[in-house]
Amino acid sequence: MALGILDQLGLAATLIFAIPVAAYGLQQAAGGSLVVGAAFLVVAALMVYLPQRLTTPGDVPGKAAEKALDTALGSENGRGDGEDGSNRDESGNGAAASDDDAADEA
C-alpha cells in the first residue's frame, strides 16, 4: 500500500501517540503485569492499524474524487480500457484483431 504525503504525515502523527503507549505496555509487561501490558500493546497497535483501514466521513470526498478521476482518465494503472481491466469494445467483444492477425487469416 503506497502512502501519499498526507497519509505519511498522518501516520507520523499517530506514531507520536502510539509509541509511548506501546512503551508503557512493554514496561508493564516487563514489570509483571502481563495482562495490562498486553492490553496497552494491543491499543497501540490498533491506534496505527485502524486509521489506515477504516473509512471515516472525512475520507469519503477524497475517495469519491479519486474514483471520478480514475473514471475520467480511463482505467486504473493503464490496464485495458474497460472498468474491469479488460480490453473490450462497446459490444463486449474482445479487442479487435491486429493487422498481423488479419493478414495471417487471409
| Cell representation of residue 75 | 482505467
> What backbone phi and psi angles, to 5 degrees, belong to 56?
-100, 165
pLDDT at 64: 82
Residue 44 has pLDDT above 60, yes or no: yes
25 neighbors 38 (Cβ within 8 angstroms): yes
Neighbour tally for 37: CB within 10 Å = 19
Per-domain boundaries in the chain: 10-53
Better-scored residue on pLDDT, 5 or 104: 5
Better-scored residue on pLDDT, 56 or 30: 30
Residue 89 has pLDDT above 90, yes or no: no
3-state class of 92 per DSSP? coil
Amino acid found at 101: D
Alpha carbon distances (Å) from 85 to 64, 82, 105 = 19, 5, 28
Residue 76 has pLDDT above 80, yes or no: no
pLDDT at 74: 77
Interacting residues of 50 by C-beta distance below 8 A, sequence separation 6+: none
